[in-house]
Amino acid sequence: MARSGNKVERSVGLGLAGAGDPERVVPEQESWNHAVPRSGERGVIMGAAVVLCIDVGFTMSNSLPGEESPFELAKKVVTMFVQRQVFAERKDEVALVLFGTDGTENALAGGDQYQHITVHRHLMLPDFDLLEDIESKIRPGSQQADFGTAIPDHREVLLCWEGKKFEKRHIEVFTDLSSPFSKDQLDIIIHNLKKSDLKDIHTYEDGTVDRGDGNLGSDHHGLSFPLKGITEQQKEGIRMVKKVMMSLEGEDGLDEIYSFSESLRQLRVFKKIERNSMAWPCQLTLGSNLSIKIVAYKSMVQEKVKKSWTVVDARTLQKEDIQKETVYCLNDDDETEVPREDTIQGYRYGSDIIPFSKVDEEQMKYKSEGKCFSVLGFCRSSQVHWKYFMGNQVLKVFAARDDKAAAVALSSLIHALDELDMVAIVRYAYDRRANPQVGVAFPYIKEAYECLVYVQLPFMEDLRQYMFSSLKSNKKYTPTANYEVFDINSLNTEYFELPYGKAQLNAVDALIDSMSLVKKDEEENTIEDLFPTTKIPNPQFQRLFQELEVGDWIKETGEVDKRADLC
């Protein structure tokens, strides 16, 4: 989300035969979610408002033999866009407007204005019902609507939707530009867009748009638009789009033009799930006399798939049609029924069953004193190896907001640890119901902020000390080939025999290096992640979403789709 002071920028997307991705300005998160606290932001953060407009006029059904029509491609792009929104669990609301329909259903219709435009669905959270509507209820029409009048109608859906405020507002239009438009209304449309707070325009077109005064087929985004077969109406539509984009955003407006094919490629990967980090206030205690007010945020947390499957009736697909009844019976000939309140838990130990009542459970629970972030001691950072890091989250610890004394104290501790190359060993408990942890807090200093980073460490019982026999004493692996080793103590070169030659040894070394997940720069002494989790989608989520998509398709058609191979 782009901010200028307290003003939130809103954007409009004119998606011409393409799909907008307005949410891409937000850092995407997924299986390992990164969240940095936002200073000065209070209250609930609203999502974006997106109006998807599909041209369903009769020209959208025209296609060359063996090729999909623009209408089918538009439905694919819109379907994939909505799927990503549903699976990402975002708070963005989506509306669906059709133009070129046989009928007319919109608030601005009157006389001969805004005809053949239908508001199919108003702004609301996207769901599977919307996906079903796109798949089954949207059909090509036999009319054409004025492309220019469709834009103000979409603005009306966004700007006049009573009682709703959004961070961003977008309009995405999917068309082959064959629909007629009024040239005399174009300047009025541009004037109204400039006058409103709708700024950034993302244009997506099934082809290329010239950046200058050259021909219409100049290259853009590496796309090639075959000008053969393009009608004069489509050429006029391309010029109209260029004029709108250039008027509102200048030359930069042409950088947001994509084709159907490019949009489909970009939407193949599902959106990453985003989470907002909640503040965790506590007291950092150092001994019995020093305490610092702190607030911690989850910087990285493992995201797991929600197992929220519901059993429904196979015919009606309704949960209410399934009635569950649980009965407890004795293991005897009569299967005597036992009331649930007369049962307790029991654990099988060998052939015996050990009873475990609620009283036993309460007595065995650890009695915690509440939330805790207490420093137990300090040690050299070299003594805490990365292999000891465990847990499913990483915390960033800051001083409490608007507390100068806490900020000075925590900053002094952070810089002292950094200068001495030391870390703090911390006892951490989330609340009185949670089991305590032992972890390490090391300093983290950036230009914009500084904090402590907490990672859980294992207890002694968590460590596994595995013993392996020595390969040197195993005659089966006794070296048999020549291998040259220089002894630094005797300054002599000794020769050993190994079973493999240097080529094989080099191949094994290269294999080990290729399996490394980091890239080391020996000259600059830096380490770079080859697979940053903030940019790479979680394969587990991607596979799940693909299976849900393919499974729904198979349910409707009864056939196996080639897309199932992706799962």
Q: Are 205 and 177 in contact (CB under 8 A)?
A: yes
Q: How far apart are CA 311 and CA 315, in angstroms?
A: 12
Q: How confident is the model at residue 208 (pLDDT cuts 50, 70, 90)?
A: very low
Q: How confident is the model at residue 322 (pLDDT cuts 50, 70, 90)?
A: confident
Residue 126: closest CA among 80, 166, 165: 80
This prediction's pTM: 0.58
* Choice among 91-95, 377-381, 382-386 with the minimum mean pLDDT: 91-95
| Structure-model confidence comparison of residues 346 and 563, the more confident one | 346
Average pLDDT over residues 83-106: 83
Average pLDDT over residues 86-114: 80
Per-residue pLDDT reduced to its tens digit, 106-132: 777 777 777 788 888 888 889 888 988
CA 391 to chain centre: 22
Q: How far apart are CA 321 and CA 313, in angstroms?
A: 6
- High-pLDDT (> 70) share of the chain, %: 67
Q: Are 157 and 114 in contact (CB under 8 A)?
A: no
CB atoms within 10 A of CB 450: 17
Orientation angle between helical segments 70-88 and 260-267, nearest 10 degrees? 20
For residue 202, pLDDT beyond 70: no
| Structure-model confidence comparison of residues 46 and 297, the more confident one | 297
When the pLDDT of each residue in the chain is averaged and rounded to a whole number, the result is: 73
Task: State the pLDDT at residue 318.
Answer: 85
Average pLDDT over residues 265-294: 84
* Choice among 37-46, 270-279, 383-392 with the minimum mean pLDDT: 37-46
For residue 452, pLDDT beyond 60: yes
* Choice among 124-133, 201-210, 281-290, 376-385 with the minimum mean pLDDT: 201-210
Task: State the pLDDT at residue 215.
Answer: 45
Task: State the pLDDT at residue 23.
Answer: 33
| Structure-model confidence comparison of residues 382 and 557, the more confident one | 382
Q: How far apart are CA 495 and CA 472, in angstroms?
A: 16
Average pLDDT over residues 365-376: 88
Task: State the pLDDT at residue 325.
Answer: 86
Q: How confident is the model at residue 32 (pLDDT cuts 50, 70, 90)?
A: very low
| Helical (H) or strand (E) element with 483 | strand 482-487
Task: State the pLDDT at residue 232.
Answer: 75
Q: In b/e form, how buried is each residue of 245-276, taking b as 16+ CB within 10 angstroms?
A: bbbbbeeebbebbbbbebbbebbeebbbbbee
Task: State the pLDDT at residue 142.
Answer: 80
For residue 144, pLDDT beyond 80: no
Task: State the pLDDT at residue 237.
Answer: 75
Helices (H) and strands (E) in the chain, counts: 10, 24
Q: How confident is the model at residue 541 (pLDDT cuts 50, 70, 90)?
A: confident
* Burial status of residue 141 (CB atoms within 10 A of its CB: 0-12, 13-18, 19 or more): buried
For residue 201, pLDDT beyond 50: no
| Structure-model confidence comparison of residues 200 and 147, the more confident one | 147
Task: State the pLDDT at residue 148.
Answer: 62
Per-residue pLDDT reduced to its tens digit, 464-477: 888 877 766 666 65
Residue 177: closest CA among 243, 84, 239: 239
For residue 461, pLDDT beyond 50: yes
* Burial status of residue 388 (CB atoms within 10 A of its CB: 0-12, 13-18, 19 or more): middle
Average pLDDT over residues 254-261: 60
User: Structural domains in the chain?
Assistant: 12-21+45-267 (3.40.50.410), 280-305+370-462 (2.40.290.10), 319-364 (no CATH), 475-529 (no CATH)
Per-residue pLDDT reduced to its tens digit, 499-509: 555 677 778 88
Q: What are the E-state strand segments in 265-389? A: 280-286, 290-302, 328-329, 337-338, 345-349, 352-356, 372-380
For residue 301, pLDDT beyond 60: yes
80, 144, 64, 234: CA torsion to nearest 10: -90
For residue 99, pLDDT beyond 90: no
Q: How confident is the model at residue 41 (pLDDT cuts 50, 70, 90)?
A: very low
